[in-house]
Structure 1
Amino acid sequence: MLTVNKILPQGLGLAPVLLKRAATVELDWDVRQKSRFDATDSQGRHLGVFLPRGTVVRGGDVLVTESGDMVRVLAAPQPVLVITPCAEHGSPFDLVRAAYHLGNRHVQIELRPDRLQIEPDHVLADMLRAMHLTVREASEAFEPEGGAYAAGGHGHTHDHGHSPEVNPPHGAPGHVHGPGCGHSHAHDHAHDPAPAPAPRGKPIGIAIKIEAAPHVHGPGCGHDHGDGHGHKH
């Protein structure tokens, strides 16, 4: 058995020629949403897959074995319900309404520009037909939308990290921080130091009154010494 403990989303970083040469393994959605499973690849090799918990495997991902072998994942066709607007009096907006009601029921949905796909459920099929949508059964690869805040899978995710730009591209507005921008603003701004509180109790430094030496008049003392002192002879 080959042990798989690494996954490359969509074969990221691999040359196309390596992807074409790699063995393949077909997996339906029930298996691909698990992080631990067994499978057999196109070369007849038994795979024991042990991925980090919460990992979701998508069609086009590449599994890497402990020995470095690569196995490309194919999303296997499986029974699904294909939901489209009524050809006579429907509109694309009907798909938005359908996705809203299905989402309220926590149904896994594959979103496409012209249709929705869900796993078979006759109750949901009746509800959708009552909303004047067309529902048909088919066998298709199923890739439901990943949760916007899912910690596990790597469905349609993009890195929107805002690294600070000293000189943003010409014409591109810089990011303005403010309420609702979603960034954590640590209060580490430089503020003028607050005035020191008034001392409480007896001050440590006590002024000492020093008695000045009595002034002695004489030459150079700078005082005007008139001759009218009235000396008695």
Structure 2
Amino acid sequence: MSRPRAFAVKPAGKLAQEPFDFVELPHDGRYRRRITMRTEGDLVFLLDLEEAVHLRHGDGLVLDDGRIIGVVAADEPVAEITASDAHHLTRLAWHIGNRHVPAQILADRIRIAPDPIIEEMARGLGGTVESLLAQFDPEGGAYEAAEAHGHAHAHSAHSHSHSHAHAHSHSHSHDHGQDRSHVHGPGCGHDHVHDENCGHGHAHDHAHDHAHHHGHAHKS
């Protein structure tokens, strides 16, 4: 008997029906495209999406028989940073975002994954840091939208043809973020975790002397 297959994701708050079961996932297990999962009710199913999606707490996975599996953000080790007032918290958020750290912005605090360097920085800026177990659901924001645009743009690649003798070398780097949820500050770089569907930066050299066609996918 084949395993049930989850082929689509419904956003939290927009489920047509209540989930019949739930799958609990930590933050780093919620950016997936294709993987076998097990629910709290011990149902084994295949997550099989067209592209990787950042699953959020409360989302629903739609099975091929129409049933819904609810996504639950698991409790995990986090660090919570508090400040003396709203302005101070904004200042801390700017510094955290400037270091490209995934962060969950709450009403009066910032939640991050444990990171001794960032925690020490926050203390140095006058913040208070507390370690605890809690759900970690970082912000998506502009970076998440930009990543989705990057995937779409790559699929609409353009091509051109030319015929001449030449040799050249070049390197391509492609970024597809797993953990694309974070607070931005100016000048931040991009780090990410790969799973089986991510692109990988690579370099290659080649020479050729013939008529040929090139298809290039460009990320904006």
For this structure pair, what is the TM-score category when the shorter chain's length is used for normalisation? 0.5 to 0.7
Superposed, 1:37-186 pairs within 5 Å as 37-85=35-83, 90-151=84-145
Q: Distance in 2 between matches of 1:6 and 1:35?
A: 10
Q: Distance in 2 between matches of 1:105 and 1:145?
A: 15
Preserved CA contact (<8 Å) 1:11 1:62? no
Q: Distance in 1 between matches of 2:4 and 2:28?
A: 21
Which structure shows the bigger proportion of residues in strand conformation?
2
Per-residue displacement from partner, 1:102-122 (whole Å, max 9, x unpaired)?
Answer: 111111010011100000011
Q: Which is higher, the Rg of structure 1 or of structure 2? A: 1
Letter in 2 for 1:94: H
Q: Distance in 1 between matches of 2:39 and 2:13?
A: 17
Letter in 1 for 2:58: G
TM superposition score normalised by structure 1: 0.58
SS in 2 for 1:138: strand
Structure 2: 5+ residue runs without aligned partners? 149-220
Preserved CA contact (<8 Å) 1:10 1:62? yes
Q: Distance in 2 between matches of 1:4 and 1:11?
A: 18
SS in 2 for 1:107: coil
2:32 is the counterpart of 1:34? yes
| Alignment match, 2:167 | none
Of structures 1 and 2, the one scoring higher in RCO (CA 8 A, sep 6+) is 2
| Alignment match, 1:230 | none
TM superposition score normalised by structure 2: 0.62
% identical equivalent positions: 33
- Superposed structure 1 runs of 4+ greater than 3 Å apart: none
Preserved CA contact (<8 Å) 1:84 1:114? yes
| Alignment match, 1:5 | 7
CA RMSD of aligned residues (A): 1.7
| Alignment match, 2:22 | 24
Preserved CA contact (<8 Å) 2:15 2:60? no
Once the two structures are TM-superposed, the CA of residue 42 in structure 1 deviates from its matched residue by 2.1
Superposed, 1:199-218 pairs within 5 Å as none
Preserved CA contact (<8 Å) 1:26 1:75? yes
Structure 1: 5+ residue runs without aligned partners? 154-233
Quickly say closer, same or farther: Cα 1:40–1:69, change in 2 above 3 A.
same
